[in-house]
Amino acid sequence: MELIQIEPALRTPAPKPDWLRVPSPHGENYHELKRLARSLNLHTVCESAHCPNIGECWHHRTATFMLLGNLCTRRCGFCAVPKGRPDPIDFDEPRRVAEAIATLSLEFAVITSVNRDDDLLGGARVFAMVIEEIRRLSPNCKVEVLIPDFQGDPESIRSVVDARPDILNHNIESVPRLYPVVRSGARYQRSLELLRYAKELNPLGATKSGVMVGLGEETRELLEVFRDLAQVGCNILTIGQYLRPSRDHLPMTRLYTPGEFAELKREALALGFRHVESGPLVRSSYHAHEQSAAADSR
């Protein structure tokens, strides 16, 4: 009997729901900011992490600058930032970032970085330097820093807090059960302790954290994370949908609906957070200036 070769049918990807659709980046502000970043040899997490909001944010002349190069020393399962052995730390980078912020006349700047487990104190020093440089060139600009965990090193954390950012952000990212696959090299309790210690060092400073959903967590686990963050004095919380950057990254288990994000926001606000930003396209720095204003008004 002759065997007949059957070609496997190609799966047509399911269309994105309306709440996940975003227009392609365009416009003069977008291209101007891109040219500026290139001319100053700067990286933005907007590009490196494939953020879906890049068009909207860059159109409004806001960007999240990424310090310490473009190669991360960790291999988190969700992150699109390139991994590898980084170059030596560039201590002139803070000046260039501050120059870009001054050129753009930003009123609110967000600064983050890759992990630099090869030089914890050096990485912390660059964060402190960029805060000082921004205040020198743009004294009216508020500064949010989204920092790595510095492996829990108290001296590194203290050096950043002592520079007095307006908001100190460190993302908890996921629930403890999923940490081994979601956050390689990180520890849930270590991240909580960082936020607690930052609040101890500067009780009047605002602290912030963020969580992704759609990685296999359960609602009860999310609520436990919210409670843990509230107990260490975290003021601002962001909740957003995980979107798989590529087939090399962790799969997405499900899409949350806008109604579910609204319910998570209600649960979190009931725990005492000053401000909660919750939605499918929410990322850590999305509408960061509005989060700051809301936190300050309480």
* Cα 270 to Cα 291: distance, rounded to the nearest angstrom: 17
Lowest model confidence (mean pLDDT) among 69-78, 190-199, 239-248, 255-264: 69-78
Which of 48, 269, 243, 189 is closest to 197 using CA atoms?
A: 189
Asked whether the predicted pLDDT for residue 4 surpasses 60, the reply is no
Range with top average pLDDT, 9-13, 17-21, 185-189, 225-229:
225-229
Burial class for 187, CB neighbours closer than 10 Å (0-12, 13-18, 19+): middle
Asked whether the predicted pLDDT for residue 256 surpasses 70, the reply is yes
User: Angle at which helices 188-201 and 219-231 pack, to 10 degrees?
Assistant: 30
| Average of per-residue pLDDT across 67-95 | 76
User: Angle at which helices 219-231 and 258-269 pack, to 10 degrees?
Assistant: 30
Hey, what long-range contacts does 126-130 have (CB within 8 A, 24 or more apart)? 126/67, 126/68, 126/89, 126/91, 126/93, 126/94, 127/67, 127/159, 127/160, 127/163, 128/159, 128/160, 128/162, 128/163, 129/91, 129/94, 130/67, 130/93, 130/94, 130/97, 130/98
The sign of the dihedral angle between the CA atoms of 236, 241, 246, 251 is positive
Whether the Cβ atoms of residue 279 and residue 255 lie closer than 8 Å to each other: no
Asked whether the predicted pLDDT for residue 49 surpasses 70, the reply is no
Which of 7, 105, 121 is closest to 62 using CA atoms?
A: 105
Q: What is the pTM of this model?
A: 0.81
* Cα 250 to Cα 242: distance, rounded to the nearest angstrom: 10
How many Cβ atoms sit within 10 Å of the Cβ of residue 258?
13
Residue with tokens 């090869």: 118
- Token pair for residue 51? 């953020």
| Average of per-residue pLDDT across 259-280 | 96
- To the question of domain 28-296 being in CATH 3.20.20.70, the answer is yes
The DSSP result for 257-276, as a single string, is PHHHHHHHHHHHHTTT-SEE
The tens digit of pLDDT for each residue in 112-152 reads: 888 778 899 999 999 999 999 999 999 999 999 999 999 99
Instruction: Say if strands 43-44 and 64-67 run parallel, antiparallel, or are unpaired.
Output: antiparallel
Domain ranges of the chain: 28-296
Amino acid at 231: Q
pLDDT of the residue at 260: 97
* Cα 210 to Cα 241: distance, rounded to the nearest angstrom: 11
Q: What is the mean pLDDT of the chain?
A: 82
pLDDT of the residue at 6: 45
pLDDT of the residue at 209: 97
